[in-house]
Amino acid sequence: MVRRILIALISLLQLTGLVTIFFHIWWGLTFIVSSYACLTIVMILLIKERIKEKKEDEENDYRDY
């Protein structure tokens, strides 16, 4: 759920940044940098989830029967 909200926020920040950059360059750049910060957070969450899944797969490994 958090990832979906962050992805929607990334899209909103990107669009707002692209529109705002024509009127006020610093605000536009701020929005774009903020969207990349949110993207970094989403990537970190995905990596953590993948590591957690790997650990669960190792614990529930029944290949050695």
Distance CA 2, CA 12 (A): 15
In the chain, % of residues over pLDDT 90:
75
Cα dihedral value 18, 21, 26, 31, nearest 10: -20
Q: State pTM to two decimals.
A: 0.80
Beta strands in the chain (DSSP E): none
pLDDT in tens, 17-44: 999 999 999 999 999 999 999 999 999 9
pLDDT at 65: 63
pLDDT at 41: 94
Contacts of 28 (CB under 8 A, 6+ apart): 17, 18, 19, 20, 21, 22
Q: Give the pLDDT mean for 31-60.
A: 91
Residue with tokens 């969207």: 35
C-alpha torsion sign, points 55, 44, 42, 3: positive
Q: Give the pLDDT mean for 6-11.
A: 94
Domain ranges (residues) in the chain: 2-53
